[in-house]
Amino acid sequence: MAMAAARRRSLLHGLARRPWLARLLVIAALLALWEVAARFLVDPLFLSPPSQVIMSLDKVFGTRGVPAALQLTLFELTVAFVLAVAIGLALGLVIGLQPLIRRSFFPIVLLLYCMPQVTILPLFILFFGIGAASKIAFGVTHGVFPVIVTVVAGVQNLKPILLVSARSMGASRWQMFRYVIFPHMVPSFFAGMRLGMSGVLLGVLLAELYVSVAGIGYFTTLFTQNFDPTKLLGLIGVLAAMAIVLNAVVRRAENHFARWRTE
Amino acid sequence: MAGNEADSPVPPRFRAKQSHVAAPPSPPSCAEGSGVEVVPGGAFEANSPAPPAPPFPKKKERAGAAAPQAIALPRKQVSVERAASRLIQAGFLVGLVAVWYLASTRWGVNRLLLPNPLAVYDNLLDILRSGEFIDDLETTLEELAAAFALSATGGITLGYLISRSPYWIAVFEPLFAAIYSIPIILFLPLFVLFFGLGPASKIALGAAISFFPIVINTIAGFGHVDRLFVMAARSMGASDYHLFRHVLLPAASPVILTGLRMGFTTALLSIIGSETLASLAGLGHRIVHLAEAMEMARMFAYIVFVIAIAVTLNTIVSRLEARGKRD
Amino acid sequence: MATSEAAIKVRDVFHRFGAEGEQRFVRALADTSLDVAEGELLCLIGPSGCGKSTLLNIIGGLMTPSSGDVEVRGQPVRGPLPRDIAFVFQENSLFPWNTVLENIELGMTFQGVSKSERAARAAEVLAAVGLKEFAHHYPAQLSGGMRQRAALARALSLKTPILLMDEPFGALDEQTRMILGEDLSVLLAQSRKTIVFVTHSLGEAVFLADRVAVFSARPGSIKQVIAVDEPHPRRPEFATSAKFTALRNQLYRLLHDEIRKAVQQSSAADTARAGTERA
Ligand SMILES: Nc1ncnc2c1ncn2[C@@H]1O[C@H](COP(=O)(O)OP(=O)(O)O)[C@@H](O)[C@H]1O
Ligand SMILES: [Mg+2]
């Protein structure tokens, strides 16, 4: 009795000191809830239990065309991300470093950034066709703005004393950029890359779902129309997990490059 | 629950949290002239009062005025420069429309791809005059209102409850942050399966997507209140209610307002998005419908109309946010 | 006093910010003339806002005066002179993304010092300011005093004959600045640099300076120069001597009226500003 109580107390104690353990429990509870709901409450045509989804992941990837579709989507994501970052960095530097350009074009960038781009999704398909190009383009236009905005911000809010001090030590214009402005911008650039990645994911997936003749979009539509929630959930789940992992990776990099800020 | 601060003068409920909750990166608001500033957490915030000094003093000033203080330009020069950038902006827009016009009339770009801007203008006038947009607009706005009401109520309530304990913050914050990094639009097929093609699926998706920025910012807002403020209020004998009303709420509200603004923008975006992808009515649906019918000029006109509506709504919300932060 | 050739000559320097009639128009510095001898440590002391930093920035070529001339080592000043003049600012001016060592090497990189030479000089100055163990720390990991030591090390590593220091210990607590002042006196006695040192601490001025120039309230000009006849390096005992106290009291009397004037000036300016803002 006493021992059981002690053990219980130590379990609670352990829980209190390990929030991640409690987090796992919360996730487990949600999964259990889902399991029960799917088994006993909801029509299996609409929802299947997580156990079944996980058990039949191999079937999803065994479906003809799914691996190729995933590969295609990943390819589109990668190309769009690289383009968005490169273009965003270049434009961000130009806008951030040139006062006249900044005053003229930064408001336009902000305006474009907060416009709902989905409205022009049909145009992208008309202009770029239903292949990878339109998805990449739509991903780029979603990903590029956060990169521009964070780069501009990173270039901007530099303490003037640092520039003055570099100048007093004889830094050339290039050295000023290379050793002062650029390193100051790096952490916000990484924050921008993370936001840009979310944007690219959103853009590419929106286009995928809209076109749905190839890639992931085709299969989500197919599984939905076949009332096959097991496969649908498996496919979506894998993509969601991928998004979480990618985001965590970039956040790591961001923290690494921003380590001078705190500590 | 966590920690042994039994002898602290502050009751546990209102302890300032020491967790490292960081608000999620927030896209800038649409308020005119908003500067953007990066805060140490890597998140960035709009509406910083003054744009910082240009990194490179202009050539003429370089020899002279790079004082350790920020460089302020004489007023006359400022107004000249503002006029110059307005001119450039106007020139840019005029140039854009001119290129569009020439492309659609002279350079032989297929009319099915690029309609004549004049035709688009006529269509836009027709849409506005005939009032045919009203049904679609109503659908979209109703969905938006319902979705935002759900996510705002849910997000703020849950966020507040979680923020009451550093322990629950530690449990839930990373969870929400992880989910927040998923493009939830992926789940649209599921929402359609559950709720059908009507407004219900839009509302559910919009609420689900906008819930996360709101809850994360609410946790960050209430979880970040400086311990000193709490102790100062307690030392002056503030009751729980007073503490909430005069310390916690004012300290947290700027962050929460940012969350609400982000939630609103994402809700609008996902509702128009899901209308575009799978629906029977609404502005997004109308655009797709016209695209499929190849009525390009009318579709362009609707795009302009929807963007104008969205930008107006976002600007109003940003203004409200800015005003809320000032008070 | 100025026995040898003057290292810095300031002739009738006047400076204003903004144009007359503008709101931000300020006469920061009235006609000021000043010689600093080779190897001398001159302290500038005066009410805040009287133009001390402005004068220092003008000497260093970071600002051009509205009128008047400055000569450094016989050459008229037209812009920054990184080979002759090194700065230590009041504000933390270390690059936060670089470690202490990287910060020190960066200044030399700007001047094209070779890699091996950079390493050698960096080690030397780090030892001199007592920061050897902190070479690989980031500025954010250091205390305010350590940061200013690092900034001093960076300035010393440039091996310039002239050092301009703008309230380098202004943001530090009294005890830390006492220690830093003593260390500085020892360091500078070895290097025999020409130094202009801005401070608002009477004690610091008397303790460090060969001469103290007292500024009047804005628009600042030099009201009086007081010599401190005491060999370097100054010992801690100097700070408790009767001579020290007498000099300090003399400075206090000179400054007191000016500070009152400055305070009245700034509160009058505040009221005026508040008035225009309301209108
Ligand atoms: N860049 C500037 N623009 C306008 N006024 C300035 C600027 N820099 C300094 N001033 C003004 O000039 C005066 C002298 O400043 P400063 O030299 O920094 O004083 P000190 O260093 O003696 O405290 C102050 O009134 C200050 O407000
Ligand atoms: Mg000063």
* B34 compared with B159, residue with greater pLDDT: B159
Are B100 and B184 part of one and the same domain?
no
Retrieve residue A103's tokens: 């005053």
Least-confidence region, from B107-116, C25-34, C112-121: B107-116
Least-confidence region, from A152-161, B54-63, C12-21: B54-63
Q: Does residue C23 register a pLDDT over 80?
A: no
CATH number of domain containing B157: 1.10.3720.10
Q: Which of the listed residues B49, B81, B109 is the one where a domain comes to its end?
A: B109
Of C83, C86, C91, the CB nearest to A161: C91
Q: Would you place residue B75 in the very low, low, confident or very high pLDDT band (cuts 50, 70, 90)?
A: low
Are B94 and B141 part of one and the same domain?
no
Among all residues of chain B, which has the CA nearest to that of A182?
Answer: B55
Q: How far apart are CA B199 and CA B201, in angstroms?
A: 6
Are B137 and B96 part of one and the same domain?
no
pLDDT above 90 covers a percentage of chain C that reads 56
Residue B234 distance to chain A (closest CA, Å): 27
State the pLDDT at residue A167: 93
DSSP notation for A56-92: THHHHHHSTTHHHHHHHHHHHHHHHHHHHHHHHHHHH
Q: How far apart are CA C95 and CA C140, in angstroms?
A: 10
Ligand 1 geometric centre to CA of C182 (Å): 29
Are B85 and B190 part of one and the same domain?
no
Determine, for residues C91 and B63 on separate chains, whether the beta-carbon distance falls below 8 Å.
no
Q: Would you place residue B325 in the very low, low, confident or very high pLDDT band (cuts 50, 70, 90)?
A: confident
Q: Does residue B67 register a pLDDT over 80?
A: no
Q: Does residue A1 register a pLDDT over 70?
A: no
Among A residues 169-188, those touching chain C with beta carbons less than 8 Å apart: 169-172, 175, 179-180, 183-184, 186
In a domain, B161, yes or no: yes
The set of residues, in sequence order, having a beta carbon less than 8 Å from that of B305 and lying 6+ positions away, is B124, B127, B128, B133, B283
In a domain, B40, yes or no: no
Q: Are C236 and C182 in contact (CB under 8 A)?
A: yes
- What confidence tens digit (pLDDT) does each residue in B108-150 have? 777 777 888 888 999 999 989 998 889 999 999 999 999 999 9
Residue A2 distance to chain B (closest CA, Å): 23
DSSP notation for B76-107: HHHHHHHHHHHHHHHHHHHHHHHHHHHHHHTS
Are B293 and B316 part of one and the same domain?
yes
> Interface pTM (ipTM) of the complex?
0.85
Q: Would you place residue C192 in the very low, low, confident or very high pLDDT band (cuts 50, 70, 90)?
A: confident
- What confidence tens digit (pLDDT) does each residue in B19-49 have? 334 444 455 565 443 333 322 233 333 332 2
- What confidence tens digit (pLDDT) does each residue in C156-190 have? 999 999 999 999 988 888 888 888 888 888 888 88
Mean pLDDT of C76-82: 92
Whether omega for the bond prior to residue C233 falls within 30 degrees of 0, making it cis, is yes
- What confidence tens digit (pLDDT) does each residue in B268-317 have? 999 999 999 888 888 989 999 898 888 888 999 999 999 999 999 998 99
Position B188: which residue type? Answer: L
The set of residues, in sequence order, having a beta carbon less than 8 Å from that of B308 and lying 6+ positions away, is none
Q: How far apart are CA A136 and CA A116, in angstroms?
A: 17
Give me the residue label for tokens 């050698």.
C120
Retrieve residue A93's tokens: 């530097």
Q: Which of the listed residues B109, B128, B160 is the one where a domain comes to its end?
A: B109
Mean pLDDT of C84-111: 93
Which mutation among C14, C22, C26 tests ligand 1's pocket best, with the greatest number of atoms within 8 A of CB?
C26
Is CATH 3.40.50.300 the classification given to domain C1-84+162-260? Answer: yes
Q: Would you place residue A42 in the very low, low, confident or very high pLDDT band (cuts 50, 70, 90)?
A: confident
Of C83, C93, C138, the CB nearest to A161: C93
Q: Does residue B65 register a pLDDT over 50?
A: no
Q: Does residue B70 register a pLDDT over 90?
A: no
In a domain, B22, yes or no: no
Position A45: which residue type? Answer: L
Q: How far apart are CA C244 and CA C234, in angstroms?
A: 11
Report which of B243, B214, B235 is spatially closest to residue B317, judged by C-alpha positions.
Answer: B214
State the pLDDT at residue B29: 61
Retrieve residue B298's tokens: 């009318």
Q: Does the CB of A213 have a partner CB in chain B at under 8 Å? A: no
Counting the structural domains of chain B, the total is 2
Are B81 and B170 part of one and the same domain?
no
Q: Does residue C99 register a pLDDT over 90?
A: yes
- What confidence tens digit (pLDDT) does each residue in B203-233 have? 999 999 999 999 999 999 998 788 888 888 8
Which residue pairs from A237-246 have beta carbons closer than 8 angstroms and sit at least 24 positions apart in sequence? A237/A53, A238/A57, A238/A60, A238/A70, A239/A73, A239/A205, A239/B186, A240/B182, A240/B186, A243/A201, A243/B181, A243/B182, A243/B183, A244/B178, A244/B181, A244/B182, A246/A197, A246/B181
Least-confidence region, from A231-235, B47-51, B93-97, C179-183: B47-51
Q: Does residue A77 register a pLDDT over 50?
A: yes
Helix, strand and coil in chain A, % to nearest 5: 85, 0, 15
Tell me the H-state helices in B56-74.
Answer: 59-62
**CA B141, chain centre distance (Å):** 17
DSSP notation for A2-31: HHHHHHHHHHHHHHHH-HHHHHHHHHHHHH
In which domain, by residue range, is B84 found?
Answer: 68-109
Are B96 and B209 part of one and the same domain?
no
DSSP notation for C189-250: HHH--EEEEE-S-HHHHHHH-SEEEEEPSSSB-EEEEEE---PSSPPGGGGGSHHHHHHHHH
Are B176 and B96 part of one and the same domain?
no
The CA-based angle C221-C225-C231, given to 5 degrees, is: 145
Give me the residue label for tokens 């919360």.
A26
Q: Are C153 and C129 in contact (CB under 8 A)?
A: yes
Retrieve residue C183's tokens: 């260390």
Q: Does residue B55 register a pLDDT over 80?
A: no
Q: Output the average pLDDT for chain C.
A: 88
Q: Which of the listed residues B91, B109, B127 is the one where a domain comes to its end?
A: B109
Are B261 and B199 part of one and the same domain?
yes
Ligand 1 geometric centre to CA of C228 (Å): 28
pTM: 0.81
Ligand 1 geometric centre to CA of B72 (Å): 12
Mean pLDDT of C110-133: 93
Give me the residue label for tokens 């916000």.
A188
Choose the mutation target among A157, A159, A165, A256 for the interface with C, i.e. most C CBs under 10 Å.
A165
Q: Would you place residue B9 in the very low, low, confident or very high pLDDT band (cuts 50, 70, 90)?
A: very low
Coil, helix or strand for C182? helix
State the pLDDT at residue B279: 85
Q: How far apart are CA B175 and CA B178, in angstroms?
A: 5
* A1 compared with A177, residue with greater pLDDT: A177
State the pLDDT at residue C120: 95
Q: Which residues of B touch C (CB under 8 A)?
A: 63-68, 72, 74-75
Of C62, C95, C98, the CB nearest to A168: C62
Report which of C39, C50, C28, C22 is spatially closest to residue C255, judged by C-alpha positions.
Answer: C50
- What confidence tens digit (pLDDT) does each residue in C198-240 have? 998 899 999 999 999 999 887 778 889 999 998 888 888 898 9
In a domain, B11, yes or no: no
Of A16, A224, A229, the CB nearest to B167: A16
Q: Where are the domains of chain C?
A: 1-84+162-260, 94-159
Determine, for residues A119 and B29 on separate chains, whether the beta-carbon distance falls below 8 Å.
no
The set of residues, in sequence order, having a beta carbon less than 8 Å from that of C271 and lying 6+ positions away, is none
In a domain, B78, yes or no: yes
